[in-house]
Amino acid sequence: MKFRRRQSEEPEINLIPFIDVLLVVLIFLMLSTTYSKFTELQLTLPTADAQQLKDRPAEIIVAISADGRYAIDRNAVEGRSVDLLTAALLQAAQGKQEPVVIVSADAATPHQAVVNAMDAARRANLTRLTFAANKPQ
């Protein structure tokens, strides 16, 4: 009995057929593709003008702290109920035509505090509402 191992032949990797196929595909793509020149798109970009600040609507800024306290136009609101917020918003809206309520809060502000501010604005018939987010530092 022969228990000796035969010497194994090293496998041969032949890349020539692969290169041939690649060249055929490349030639096919070059012959079948058509190139055309497109003109540039004309875009009108928005511009900012500092002179337009006079046209800004009346604003009421509702700031909400991380612990749920409110300040309306930099005046602290005593309490956290929706009724107190509504009264403070009505007082801040006196003499202003269709004011925009800006709710300013950060990521740590309780969700319910923002919902209460929205509910108070609805009760005060202030329909123009927007949000501003403060980045935590």
Is residue 29 included in any domain, yes or no? no
If pLDDT is split at 50, 70 and 90, which confidence band does 107 have? Answer: confident
pLDDT digits (tens, 9 = 90+) for 116-128: 999 999 999 998 8
- Indicate the number of domains in the chain: 1
pLDDT at 96: 86
Separation between Cα atoms, residue 113 and residue 84, nearest integer Å: 13
Q: What is the DSSP string of 21-56?
A: HHHHHHHHHHHH----PPPPPP-------GGGGGGP
In the predicted structure, residue 56 carries a pLDDT above the cut 80: no
37 CB-side CA count, 13 A:
1
pTM as predicted: 0.57
Q: Cα separation of 131 and 137, whole Å?
A: 19
The verdict on residue 117 lying in a domain is yes
Q: Which domain holds residue 127?
A: 57-131
Give the pLDDT score at 39: 67
**Rg for the chain (alpha carbons), in Å?**
35
CATH number, domain with residue 123: 3.30.420.270
Residue 72 has pLDDT above 90, yes or no: yes
